[in-house]
Each structure stands twice: as C-alpha cells, then as structure tokens.
Chains A and B, each alone.
Chain A
C-alpha cells in the first residue's frame, strides 16, 4: 500500500517567517507531487505541483523535491496569517486513473501575527 506521510503539526510560525512543511512517500517510482491548501471547513485547493528534482518557485511558495530521499517539501516565505491552513501532500496512485491521488493527512500551519 502506497503511503504519504506528513507531520500533523500544528506548526506554529510568527508572521514574516519561513514555514517549512515536509512530506515523505513510499513509492520510489512516483513522478509527480502536489501540494494542496485546505482552510478549515473548505475544500482543498491545488497550490503547487512539482515533477523534477530540485526547487520550483511560485511567488512566496517553493516546492522542493528529492526523489533519492523520497522527500518533498513546501516552503512558504514571509508567512502571513492568511496562510494558516492545513497543507496536504499528494502523489498519484499509478495503475488507476490520472486523478487517483494518495493524500497525506496534512500538516496544520498556524501563522501568528
């Protein structure tokens, strides 16, 4: 059974700091990785995808992938209180449909003003 592991948190950071969210996955053959943000009571929103080793930056968000270590992370620079949410990591469950993703249980981030 493929697995995606995340520290459930909560991770608390002060406003303006860098928040670092981590995720490990069990399937060494995984090729694509997704980060979703989920505000309390709302549906998840796709914020980043990454396919190659290294870093991918989008605004204040940077996704980092290390396939050798089976590790993917999300960095949020200049964290804002509006970034307070649960962040979900997901990888495809190959063999099924394209949208068949395996999700971690998420890390709850709290940004304190």
Chain B
C-alpha cells in the first residue's frame, strides 16, 4: 500500500531564516505530488504540484519554492521566511478518487 511521510513534524523558525520541508512517498511510482498550506482561519490552499521529476507548477505567488529531485521526493523551501508563512504544511499525492495527505508539518515563524 502507498504511504507518505513528511518531516519535520514541527519547527519554529525566525523571520528571515531558510526553510526546507521534505516529503517522500512509498508504494507507488511517478505519483502526482502536492504541497498544501492550511493557515489559521483559512482553508487548505494548494501551493505547488508536480507531475514528474523536475516538473513544478505554482498555484500562488509567494516566497516559497518547491523541487522534485527524485520520483518520490518533494521538497518545499524558502530562502527567507516571513511571519505570514506560518501554518500547517501538507504534502499529498493523488490517486483516482481523491488525494491523500501526509502527517503535516507545523511551521511557526517568530
């Protein structure tokens, strides 16, 4: 069966510091992968998606970036975090019938 893991689970970062969140999927090949963010008082928002290695699409302009260096690895990065980047970041993969989320990463920017 397919599983998805992401880390770290929680982190507190100062404004202006870099960020790297990592996600890996097991049990499937060439998955479509996604990064969503859930900010306080707001719904889930799609940030990036990837249909293959090196193929990244951005849904919203921001100071975040994503990369897919391997088939089952998806990374979310920032060079300089803003306070507004705080939130719950979720990696997901899609199959027919919906998308499936990882455990999530709680980011607090202070």
Contact = CB atoms under 8 A, between A and B. Distances in A.
A55 B102 CA distance: 29
Interface in B61-110: 88, 90, 92-94, 97-104
Contact of B94 (A43, A97, A106): A97
Interface residues of A, number: 21
B101 A97 contact: no
Given A34-B98, A43-B88, A100-B49, 18 more contacts: A42-B104, A43-B103, A43-B104, A44-B44, A44-B101, A46-B100, A49-B98, A90-B44, A93-B46, A96-B49, A96-B57, A96-B59, A97-B34, A98-B32, A99-B99, A100-B59, A101-B99, A103-B44
26 contacts: A34-B98, A42-B103, A42-B104, A43-B90, A43-B104, A44-B44, A44-B101, A49-B97, A96-B49, A96-B59, A97-B32, A97-B49, A97-B57, A99-B32, A99-B49, A99-B92, A99-B99, A100-B34, A100-B59, A101-B44, A101-B46, A103-B43, A103-B44, A104-B43, A105-B42, A105-B43
Interface of B: 32, 34, 42-44, 46, 49, 51, 57, 59, 88, 90, 92-94, 97-104
